[in-house]
Structures are given as C-alpha cells and as structure tokens.
C-alpha cells in the first residue's frame, strides 16, 4: 500500500504544471522599440494585422500565425527557459522547441530549433523582442 501511495504521488508531481512558468516573461514584446511606440500610438491589433509578431507568456501571435507555448522549463545557470510549442499557419500545424533568454529587463531573444525555410533568413520563431510598457494583449 505504501508503494502505491508513493507511485501515485510521483505521478501527480510529474503531471502538475512546472513552477518555472511563474517567473516566465511578463508583458507584451514586439520586434523593435519603434513597433512598441506604434502599438501605443495606434493599437496592438493594428500591428498584428500588419503581420508583426507579438511575444507574450502565451506564445507568439501574428495574423494567420501563432505558436502556443505548452511547456516551459527554467534553466538553472542562465536567465533562460526551454519552451515547447505548437505552431500553426493556414493549412499547417507543427511543433517547435525554443530557448527564451532574458538579455536585459527590456529585451528577450528567442532561438528556434526549426531550420529556416530560406538559409539567408533566420527562423520565423527566432529573433530579438523588446518589452512594450503600457501595451496589453487584445
């Protein structure tokens, strides 16, 4: 009986959400500080509709494209997280694994394991994002 209780507790701890998500990124991020200024002047929805990518704790979002962050694991030796995601665009759903690194209080870098479609470009899920103070998700 004790062994069964131990196994039951172990399964529950594995199935529970990781506490690392609590200290994950907060706020809304865009790919430049200029885009943040535009989001304040106009709306975040207008920037999304124009094809810009928005990063938040939920994932990446753009017009006809999104990546939902499913599992977030905090690194112990760096200000980084490993993130698994399910991404979708019209007619195509695919998994991705990303590193999310806090470079400064206002800048985050994403690196995707997915190869770029065109070798001259970075992966669609990789790049730098900047915190947009005063901007909220729609």
Q: What is the mean pLDDT of residues 74-98?
A: 95
Q: Using CA atoms, how far apart are residues 112 and 103, in angstroms rounded to an integer? A: 16
Measuring CA to CA, how many Å separate 127 from each of 17, 41, 43? 27, 24, 22
The one-character DSSP state at 117 is S
How far is C-alpha 66 from the geometric centre of its chain's CA atoms? 10
Q: Using CA atoms, how far apart are residues 86 and 94, in angstroms rounded to an integer? A: 6
* Whole-number pLDDT of residue 23: 84
* Whole-number pLDDT of residue 125: 86
Q: What is the mean pLDDT of residues 42-46?
A: 93
Structure tokens at 83: 């993130």
Q: Using CA atoms, how far apart are residues 20 and 72, in angstroms rounded to an integer? A: 7
Global confidence as pTM: 0.79
For residue 115, give the 3-state DSSP assignment. Answer: coil
């Amino acid at each position: 009986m004790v062994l069964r209780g131990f196994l039951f507790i172990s399964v529950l701890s594995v199935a529970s959400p990781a506490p690392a998500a609590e200290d994950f990124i907060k706020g809304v991020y865009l790919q430049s500080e200029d885009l943040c200024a535009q989001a304040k002047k106009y709306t975040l929805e207008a920037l999304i509709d124009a094809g810009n990518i928005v990063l938040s704790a939920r994932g990446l979002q753009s017009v006809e494209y999104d990546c939902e962050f499913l599992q977030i694991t905090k690194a112990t030796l760096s200000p980084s997280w490993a993130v698994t995601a399910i991404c979708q665009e019209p007619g195509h759903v695919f998994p991705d694994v990303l590193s999310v690194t806090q470079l400064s209080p206002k800048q985050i870098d994403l690196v995707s394991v997915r190869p770029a479609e065109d070798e001259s470009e970075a992966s669609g899920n990789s790049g730098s994002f900047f915190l947009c103070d005063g901007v909220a998700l729609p």
